[in-house]
Chains A and B, each alone.
Chain A
């Protein structure tokens, strides 16, 4: 093997401190026939050309470049090696600028250190093997899980770029949670109106041919890896043909059975065949086989003969398929986007607040449905006694900022709490509204307006409570009663001095002239709890299938919380929307777009995926089958081949950290680019 050292003076940056001639003498003395050349600026165009020609002229096999940090120019010189027809991995840079010349006071010592480093690099490079980048075919298509704002935006963006996407949605409708909200903060837009153009575009627009919506569907299994996933999807029957049904709703009224509508949080009933809510898309009802008489026929046979819906259908019997069975579909995709959304913290876990026990104590989503004109009360706010409530307590921070519940702030609750304030005020102008909060968080340039409306409102009172989850709400004569003895500060309208914090602030006079004494009891007709945003219920199952990590709060964990929040820890599985962190609709939409960006930039149709050869490989004959490596791999890149009784590395998933190589008790794992032999050689020469 012919090895050459190309010493870069870096102008005088290096040669001022380290005398190249002395180094050359010492290196040649130690390494006999090594070629040693010095150049002024090796990274300059002239330098690169000199390097390329010299490598060719001298038929050099391996190159050592004492110069700047490899973090500066390793890629530059690797490209030169390639241009000279030498494998780019047959090179070692020696960082004699940042780590020797610039940091060593004494020139002699610096030169001695440089010699040591160069000798070590020569011994190492002679052991190095040419490494080749591998290339594999990929599928540019994507599977998106969840058809809420993030999933829809990702689907539409990818479809418009010509990618095929399959959107897997477990519910019968698309649009996620916000499509069920009458109005949306911060600008009080109508939720369905805002989302329907996007949904319409995805269902019927120019790019809709590239989008396949699978509603009532769930991910059942996923195998493969980045570039080539095979996803198994279980689709439950709808019993109504989405292509043939015209969505006229004639079938609904004749249906004789009902059940609690989960889309309205069980507040009202729906028929066995029905829409989830008015305006739900796709505009096709679905049949709940759990209650439909055809599946629960009188006489207990399960084969009922009810055909009231069929007879009412103007299109005809072909719309219905009561024989439809659960299906397992398979889709190939290079990428998977998780956009499964989130849920609200179960308020009954803060039992003192009365949720689930006292009537007219709602959580945020229930109240959204009550406010919605397509909701269970058609937008009318009524107590359980059927009366219009005249006073409300809106409790922020439920189960939040509390290490006994969730220790974080979800960042959206205050905003929708002030939205509720605005809507209540419009519907019931004289209502008294109390905001009970621990901390107030209203970020963003547009959020000031709703807050201000509440703060300037004469009948809205802000009470800061030190321990929201320690408050007790009881029922007395049909009213919901709580004490503000827990308050650490209370104040009314903003003109009295704004929101005040600090202990002992009770007794502050508010705008209405009332005074809230510490310990005073306040009674209201309805209570709205704004709980922490938590991971959706299906996440554990999905995380298990895809092997994506979850953070301590149960959300999908990001590859990096700031620089790579759109990536999961599994390569090719991206995160969008509140499945990985609480967020509002704007953020979720942006994240959908970002996830589409990852797919578009990462996998391009017709272009192969190249795999970095700095990866680990198992020497299967040496492997004892202990599986220690599988446990330490942060990327789930190692699997066990039961037949060969040995581990193997998926090079595509391997990131080349080498942790497995260090962990292997049989030294059966080779960390390419950083093999045991190469490192032992370096150690030996550094100490010789």
Chain B
């Protein structure tokens, strides 16, 4: 179900397209990107304002702070079929809420250990920093992650 690159991929009745896509064997990973409101979301807007094209595979969910990202959200995303998850935060020292990004990075480190036990590769759960000014960096972080997950292939259901 996750191999379609067409507009119809979300439609329940798009079976024929999926069949078609399967034939071409193009794997389009589905990735959830959690972005903090103040830095990384603004960085994404910056890339937008500069009209820099990047891979459309990452679906952005905005939170006020990367510290809001409950590890359960990430597990839920994998459970619901995500091939990858990204957490983008303010650079160290830049957090709008002072230290939420430190909490986020701590939780991410711990979560990686758990994901490993589930057989989910580290590359599928990327933590990175993107500032409000780093439109180019946002683009490269997105493209890199999509490429990395493409290389790994679809996450097997478990």
Contact = CB atoms under 8 A, between A and B. Distances in A.
B10 A119 contact: yes
12 contacts: A26-B11, A99-B44, A113-B59, A119-B10, A120-B61, A657-B67, A661-B68, A662-B70, A679-B63, A683-B32, A683-B80, A687-B82
Interface residues of B, number: 49
B63 A569 contact: no
A71 B71 CA distance: 26
Interface stretch (B48-56, B113-121, B145-153): B48-56
Contact of A108 (B6, B42, B77): B6
Contacts of A119: 10
Enumerate the 9 nearest inter-chain pairs by beta-carbon distance, A residue then B residue, closest first.
A98-B48, A658-B68, A659-B67, A657-B97, A657-B65, A112-B7, A686-B59, A634-B98, A662-B70
Given A26-B11, A634-B100, A103 B68 contact: no
Nearest to B48: A98
A105 interface: yes
Contacts, number: 146
B77 A656 contact: no
A663 B100 CA distance: 11
A196 interface: no
A634 B99 contact: yes
Interface of A: 22, 26, 29-30, 69-71, 95, 97-100, 102-106, 108-113, 115-117, 119-120, 559, 569, 614, 632, 634-635, 655-659, 661-663, 671, 673-674, 676, 679-680, 682-684, 686-688
Chain B CB count within 10 A is highest, among A99, A117, A614, for A99
B5 interface: yes
Contacts of B73: 679-680, 683
B72 interface: yes
B109 interface: no
A671 B70 CA distance: 11
Contacts of A97: 48
Contacts of A684: 76, 80
A559 B32 CA distance: 32
Contacts of A688: 10, 80
A687 B45 contact: no
A656 B52 contact: no
Nearest to A117: B59
A521 to B, nearest CB: 47
B103 A112 contact: no
B97 A655 contact: yes
A98 B42 CA distance: 10
A106 B26 CA distance: 16
B83 to A, nearest CB: 10
Interface in B57-112: 59-65, 67-73, 76-77, 80-82, 96-100, 103, 107
A112 B10 contact: yes
Nearest to A662: B70
A662 B56 contact: no
Contacts of A683: 32, 61, 73, 76-77, 80, 82
B9 interface: yes
B65 A98 contact: no
A26 B10 CA distance: 9
B124 interface: no
Contacts of B68: 657-659, 661-662, 671, 674
Contacts of A673: 64
A103 B52 contact: yes
Contacts of A116: 10, 59
A112 B80 CA distance: 19
A687 B32 contact: yes
A610 B97 CA distance: 20
A298 B64 CA distance: 69
A103 to B, nearest CB: 5
B103 A29 contact: no
B142 to A, nearest CB: 9
Nearest to A98: B48
B97 A109 contact: no
Given A30-B10, A99-B48, A657-B100, A110 B56 contact: yes
Contacts of B141: none
B81 A662 contact: no
B32 A104 contact: no
Nearest to A70: B62
Interface string B1-34: 0000111111110000000000000000010100
Chain B CB count within 10 A is highest, among A98, A115, A680, for A98
A105 B5 CA distance: 13
B76 A680 contact: yes
Chain B CB count within 10 A is highest, among A110, A632, A686, for A686
Given A658-B100, A662-B107, A687-B77, 11 more contacts: A29-B11, A102-B49, A103-B139, A117-B60, A657-B65, A659-B99, A661-B68, A662-B68, A662-B70, A671-B68, A676-B72
A671 B73 CA distance: 14
B47 interface: yes
Contacts of B82: 683, 687
A100 B67 CA distance: 25
Nearest to B77: A683
Contacts of A632: 67, 103
A103 B63 contact: no
Given A26-B11, A659-B67, A662-B103, A104 B56 contact: yes
B68 to A, nearest CB: 3
Contacts of B97: 634-635, 655, 657, 659
B60 A99 contact: yes
Given A69-B48, A104-B56, A657-B97, A115 B10 contact: yes
Nearest to A109: B56
A103 B98 contact: no
A682 B11 CA distance: 16
A597 B30 CA distance: 50
A71 B49 CA distance: 12
B46 to A, nearest CB: 8
Chain B CB count within 10 A is highest, among A105, A658, A671, A687, for A687
A683 B71 CA distance: 13
Chain A CB count within 10 A is highest, among B11, B12, B96, for B11
B64 A658 contact: yes
A634 B5 CA distance: 43
A662 B77 contact: no
Contacts of B65: 657-659
Contacts of A682: 61
Nearest to A108: B7
